[in-house]
Amino acid sequence: MIRRQYEKLELIAFMGALCLFFSTIEYLFPKPFPFFRLGLANLPVLVTIKLFPPGYVLLLVLLKVLGHGLINGTLASYVFLFSSAGSFSSAAVMLAAWYLCRDRISLVGVSVFGALASNMVQIMLSVTFIFGRSAWIIAPPFMTLGAASGVAVGLFAARFCEQSRWLAVIRDYYAAP
Amino acid sequence: MRRHRSRPANRLKRHLNASHLFITGAVVLPAYLMQPGLVVRVAQVLLFAALAHLAGKRIMWPYFVLMVASITFFNLLTPIGRVVLSLGPLQITTGALRSGLMKGFTIVGLVFVSLFSVRPDLRLPGKLGGLVARVFFYFERIIEGRKRIEARRLIDSIDDVLLELYTPGQQQSQAVFERVQTTTVGYALMVTLISVNWLLLFV
């Protein structure tokens, strides 16, 4: 039992490394706005939602934001606050969507909910702490792009869950008694 | 697809260990935040940018210029004080301009402080610190395998790398961290940075 838990934590650390890896390859894709992020780092989180209980998913999100803050050196700045708030709100909404509508929602739906939650929280923070109330005008295009990136990431995650041999090995191992 | 520019060398790492560098940033931060003068604050931001560069961080100047400009612009929409210029419907007032610039530079400076004072070998305490170390251990391995990932067979090639790096139930090797000792130059830099920033409060 303890060994199993240790192995799960090891896998969560590996998933955390995958989040960092996906965020480093984001630069390969052109950005329509300088502050916009595609959210590829969310892929391992989406996959983990299907595999492990919520506690492990939230731990993965914590590792993702800490790792990102340490690698990019943003741990002591507003970027970390925005990233943490966006990631945790997104994870909470994705978990809620997954557990409340498990048979009626696909990973694309879960991903879109997560992207919208993350963008909404980040707009609220930027209105409160940085730009002021006038910044609400950026909300509609920002949310639209967020939804589009949520669809793209969700489609990829769904395809990965279907086709990945590695994920099949992981699923079989943890499904075994 | 764009080419990724390589980062400059980390010249601070030769002289300061990660904890000492982090402490320096943490002690400088309150002095920076309490600084009332706009000109001094801009000078501090430039100093932190230079330190971030020495720490091997690539600074995306257009991003930060756009950041200060957009924060200032949104502040100008709420006029405060004397009108210095009218651009159509937009009235530029002294109070809003100063407050916008101050806010913009403060935020950008905070990012630069973080960029120079935080680096991946900073060990966080406890079990969480151990897990973060494992994340970095795997991250380095994944980065090594990155060149084998092909866009044409994306999922298949990602799978090849993942299957090689992580199989459940197998004993994984331990992360090894290089320990850096703070040199005399490093201690001198720490004391100078802290003193200069705190003394600037009384200028």
pLDDT at A62 over 60: yes
Provide the shortest C-alpha distance from residue A28 to chain B (in Å): 6
pLDDT of residue B2: 45
Interface of A with B in 100-159 (CB under 8 A): 130-132, 134-135, 159
pLDDT tens-digit profile of A95-152? Answer: 999 999 888 899 999 999 999 999 999 889 888 887 777 778 888 888 898 899 999 9
**Interchain contact, A9 vs B52, CB within 8 Å:** no
What's at A64, amino acid-wise?
A: K
User: Does the residue B13 lie in any domain?
Assistant: no
Q: What is the mean pLDDT of residues A48-57?
A: 92
User: Does the residue B138 lie in any domain?
Assistant: yes
Dist. CA A54–CA B128, nearest whole Å: 17
User: Does the residue B152 lie in any domain?
Assistant: yes
Q: Which residue from B4, B117, B135 is facing A13, i.e. has the nearest CB?
A: B135
As for the ipTM of the complex, it is: 0.89
Same domain, B112 and B40: yes
Same domain, B70 and B153: no
Same domain, B49 and B85: yes
User: Does the residue B109 lie in any domain?
Assistant: yes
Chain A touched by B25 (CB under 8 Å): yes
* Domain total of chain B: 2
Same domain, B22 and B65: yes
> Which pair of tokens denotes residue B154?
């994306």
Q: At what angle do helices B38-54 and B18-34 cross, to 10 degrees?
A: 170
> Which pair of tokens denotes residue A15?
């998933």
Same domain, B92 and B191: yes
User: Does the residue A78 lie in any domain?
Assistant: yes
pLDDT of residue B119: 81
User: Does the residue B78 lie in any domain?
Assistant: yes
**Interchain contact, A14 vs B165, CB within 8 Å:** yes
pLDDT tens-digit profile of B177-194? Answer: 567 789 999 999 999 999
What's at A56, amino acid-wise?
A: Y
* Domain total of chain A: 1
Chain A touched by B159 (CB under 8 Å): yes
What's at A77, amino acid-wise?
A: S
Beta bridge partners of B127: none
DSSP A74-142: -TTSHHHHHHHHHHHHHHHHHHHHHHHSTTT--HHHHHHHHHHHHHHHHHHHIIIIII-GGGGGGHHHH
Same domain, B97 and B136: no
Same domain, B64 and B81: yes
Q: Which residue of chain A has the CA closest to B118?
A: A73
Chain A touched by B120 (CB under 8 Å): yes
Domain of residue A132, residue span: 2-27+41-175
Provide the shortest C-alpha distance from residue B131 to chain A (in Å): 6
pLDDT tens-digit profile of B75-134? Answer: 888 888 888 888 888 888 999 999 999 989 998 998 899 889 888 788 878 888 889 888
User: Does the residue B11 lie in any domain?
Assistant: no
**Interchain contact, B118 vs A164, CB within 8 Å:** no
Chain A touched by B187 (CB under 8 Å): no
Chain B touched by A81 (CB under 8 Å): no
Q: A43, exposed or middle or buried, with CB in 10 Å at 0-12, 13-18, 19+? A: buried
User: Does the residue A32 lie in any domain?
Assistant: no
Same domain, B61 and B105: yes
Residue B138 and residue A14 in contact, taking contact as beta carbons nearer than 8 Å: yes
Dist. CA B125–CA B119, nearest whole Å: 15
Neighbours of B198 (CB within 10 A): 16
Q: Which residue from B71, B116, B132 is facing A66, i.e. has the nearest CB?
A: B132
pLDDT tens-digit profile of B157-178? Answer: 888 988 988 887 775 666 555 6
User: Does the residue B134 lie in any domain?
Assistant: yes
Domain of residue B142, residue span: 126-165
Same domain, B59 and B89: yes
pLDDT at B135 over 60: yes
Q: A116, exposed or middle or buried, with CB in 10 Å at 0-12, 13-18, 19+? A: middle
User: Does the residue B80 lie in any domain?
Assistant: yes
